[in-house]
Structure formats: C-alpha cells, structure tokens
C-alpha cells in the first residue's frame, strides 16, 4: 500500500478541483413561501431503483434551514449558457436573486428554472451527516431533460467548457 504525505485543507481542495463537475441550482420553498435557491456542484445520482439523488450543503449555508424543512426540492442542471444563474445563486450579496429569473411550475410547487438541461423534481428523503456539510437525499418524482445543449462545468476553481 502506498503511503501519502500529510496534507492541508488547501491541498485537499486543489486535488478535488481536478474532478470536473456539472453545476446545478437547487431550489425549494421556505416555510414562509419564499423561493430559495443555491448553486451546487456536489450533486450526483445515488440509485436508479428507487430513483435517488443527493447534493451537499455547507452547515454554514444560509439556505440550509429551508432545505432542512422543505418536503421537496428541484435540481436544475445548468447549461453552458447559464453561467449568470450559477453566479447569481452562489452569491450571498444578491438582494433579490429571483428578480427577472424565468421560472417553470412543477407538481411539487417548487420553482424550476427555465432553459436548464434537466430538471428533477424531488421529495426529500433524508438529511445525512457529512462532516462540515449536510447531505440531502431525495427521491425523484418527476423530471424533464433536453436533447440539445452543452453543460456548464466547474474545474480547478473556475468555469470550464467541453471541447
């Protein structure tokens, strides 16, 4: 077995940055009825049967309370031309991040973002401990996807494109 030298948090983040990921905005509705959204790149499928997905939120995230109490959420997989939405939903200093954002209604009542490569309408199944993050596990209840378009990617700390 190979022994690796010790490492710090910066080296760990740098190594993880070598794994290219897609970017999604996960949306829900807060207890007061206000729409909530956050940009994530820690999204993945978990199971095909039953259809389960997961995403991770930092315990310090201002949106954690809404996702912890909401019964449903929507994963909006962003296309390459939606970098503005990724930036908008990742910043804390946006007064009204929903202003001018085109939405699509869902059966669960959670707003989906228009123009995404895919949307997955999910029922929250579990919240799991993930160290300094919370892992949100959801069961997909409905979905839609496009045949065209390229994904918005994240690689080594910045946006990336295919090809």
Taking the CB of residue 47, how many other CB atoms lie within 10 A of it?
12
pLDDT value of residue 92: 77
Does residue 70 register a pLDDT over 90? yes
Does residue 48 register a pLDDT over 80? yes
| 2: in domain | no
pLDDT value of residue 2: 66
What pLDDT, in 10s, does the model give residues 110-152?
Answer: 999 999 999 999 999 999 999 999 999 999 999 999 999 999 9
Beta bridge partners of residue 142, listed in sequence order: 121
Confidence band of 94 (pLDDT split at 50, 70, 90): low
Residue 146's domain comprises: 9-156
Confidence band of 93 (pLDDT split at 50, 70, 90): low
Smallest Cα–Cα separation from 159: which of 72, 84, 71, 68? 84
What residues contact 59, with CB distance under 8 A and at least 6 apart?
Answer: 132, 133, 134
| 150: in domain | yes
On average, the pLDDT of the chain sits at: 92
Taking the CB of residue 117, how many other CB atoms lie within 10 A of it?
21
Which CATH number fits the domain that encloses residue 84? Answer: 2.30.110.10
What pLDDT, in 10s, does the model give residues 3-37?
Answer: 777 888 888 888 877 777 899 999 999 999 999 99
| 162: in domain | no
What residues contact 148, with CB distance under 8 A and at least 6 apart?
Answer: none
| 109: in domain | yes
pLDDT value of residue 38: 96
What residues contact 105, with CB distance under 8 A and at least 6 apart?
Answer: 111, 112
What pLDDT, in 10s, does the model give residues 129-138?
Answer: 999 999 999 9
Count of structural domains within the chain: 1
Beta bridge partners of residue 155, listed in sequence order: 158
């Amino acid at each position: 077995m190979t022994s690796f030298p010790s490492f710090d948090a910066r080296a760990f983040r740098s190594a993880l940055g070598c794994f290219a990921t897609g970017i999604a905005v996960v949306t829900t509705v807060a207890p007061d009825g206000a729409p909530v959204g956050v940009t994530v790149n820690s999204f993945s499928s978990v199971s095909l049967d039953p259809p389960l997905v997961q995403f991770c939120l930092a315990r310090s995230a201002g949106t954690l309370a809404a996702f912890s109490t909401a019964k449903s959420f929507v994963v909006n997989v962003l296309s390459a031309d939606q970098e503005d939405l990724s930036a908008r939903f990742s910043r804390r200093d946006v007064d009204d991040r929903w202003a001018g954002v085109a939405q699509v209604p869902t059966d669960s009542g959670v707003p989906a973002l228009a123009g995404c490569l895919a949307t997955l309408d999910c029922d929250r199944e579990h919240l799991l401990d993930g160290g300094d993050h919370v892992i949100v596990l959801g069961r997909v209840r409905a979905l839609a996807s496009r045949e065209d378009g390229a994904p918005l990617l994240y690689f080594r700390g910045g946006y990336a494109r295919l090809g």
